[in-house]
Amino acid sequence: MRAVYRFDGFIFASLIGGLILTIVPLPDAINAWRPAWLAILVLYWTLHRPERFGLLGAWLVGIAMDTLTGTLLGQHALALMFIAFINLKLHLRIRVFPKGQQALAILMLILVYEFLLFWVDGVAGFSTRGMARWLPVLSSTALWLPLAALLKWAMVLARRA
């Protein structure tokens, strides 16, 4: 039973790390390329541990992100919960894909995430950032495989401890 609590703490710690990486200030030159850290983490946990992390977790992380970043309350919560729902429905299929196809599936889900944020901004009357809005899709997809390998390795270490 102890390993289960440590593992849940590991999920929580990774999400706190994602929140920190989301709000850390970056130079303007690379800020547009900032990956969607929480979207990647939500997709990872709903893909590999759907029994431990689901829609409520995605919604809570989204509300925390909306609060920390000062965006419209519920914007990220809606987008994260939507991609978590799709991922939960398809996680058994996506998990057995080869790594390249898995990265393409993640690309599509991150694209849906960014489109939902774009749509909510448009409905709320906020200006969009043009093509720079879609750069996190590329950087998040590029980070998917290394981050998934790192989290898998860390999970193995957490279970052994």
Whole-number pLDDT of residue 156: 86
pLDDT mean across residues, the chain:
91
pLDDT at 129: 73
Each residue of 54-64: pLDDT tens digit? 999 999 999 99
pLDDT band at residue 145 using 50, 70 and 90 as cut-offs:
very high
What's the farthest any 2 CA atoms get from each other in the chain? 50
Residue showing tokens 């991609």: 83
Are 137 and 30 in contact by the 8 Å Cβ rule? The answer is no
**Does residue 2 register a pLDDT over 50?**
no
Say if CB 2 and CB 102 are below 8 A apart.
no
Express each pLDDT in 40-53 by its tens digit: 999 999 999 999 99
> What tens digit of pLDDT does each residue of 87-111 get?
999 999 999 999 999 999 999 999 9
Quote the percentage of the chain above a pLDDT of 70: 95
Burial of 99 (0-12, 13-18, 19+ CB in 10 A): exposed
Nearest Cα residue to 85 out of 65, 102, 62: 62
| Distance (Å, whole) CA 141 – CA 118 | 18
Rounded to the nearest 5 degrees, what angle is found at the Cα of 116, between the Cα atoms of 81 and 36?
Answer: 70
* Structure confidence at residue 7 (pLDDT): 53
Query: Are 137 and 111 a contacting pair, CB within 8 Å?
Result: yes
pTM score over 0.75: yes
Q: Where are the domains of the chain?
A: 2-160
